[in-house]
Amino acid sequence: MTAAEFVTVAETHPACRVLGPGTRYVVWVQGCPLSCTGCVSPQWIPFAGGHRVAVAELAEEIAASGADGLTLSGGEPFAQAGALARLVTTVRARRDLSVLCYTGYTLEHLRRTGDAGTRALLSEVDILIDGPYIAARHGDLRWRASANQRVHDLTGRHTAELATPDTGSGLQIEVLPDGGVHWLGVPPTPGFRKNFERALGLTAPAEDR
């Protein structure tokens, strides 16, 4: 199998309500070349880590879920653009889910410098949220964490949702079967992860301290 037939995945969630319109299956990929200061998921920056999943296997799981859409995050999705483009087309052969994708690059940069995989993934995305996280510009905004990041309505599929006030969607907090606590979404305040984990008596990853 070729590299485009596998995705290196950090984590998934089948029913997230705070990272895009409706209920979404979220795939966080492993690896990001940007290493933004204050990244909320520093454990997913190294390219070493995560686990390789066959595109066909992951697509089957997504299509069988009850989600309204698919959100791609990370990590940096465009570091695995070709594989993720194939993932989306495979899912859409089963169900026409909407696609939201995060990237630390700007849309202009991707269009100017992107390879065939980048162009293929962009052609499948309905909403692109672009730009690096900048802690000094942190804001409680729709699906994103800093004011420099933009929401691009690439297909018009979600124009009605995007016409509503540009405010944060909040956090989705879940208690796991083992008693642990798991949260999803974009924190409304900077340093949320560090403070949250300190309050629970946990230790944040070194990159976040």
pLDDT tens digits, 59-103: 999 999 999 999 999 999 999 999 999 999 999 999 999 999 999
Q: What pLDDT score was predicted for residue 125? A: 98
Q: Is the pLDDT of residue 2 over 70?
A: no
Q: What are phi and psi of 6, to 5 degrees?
A: -130, 150
Q: Say how many Å lie between the first and final Cα of the chain, rounded.
A: 40
Rounded CA separation 70/73 (Å):
10
DSSP H or E stretch at residue 135:
none
Residue 208, pLDDT score? 43
Q: Are 22 and 71 in contact (CB under 8 A)?
A: no
Task: Answer whether residue 209 shows pLDDT above 50.
Answer: no
Spell out the alpha helix ranges (H) of 21-173: 55-64, 81-92, 107-113, 116-124, 159-162
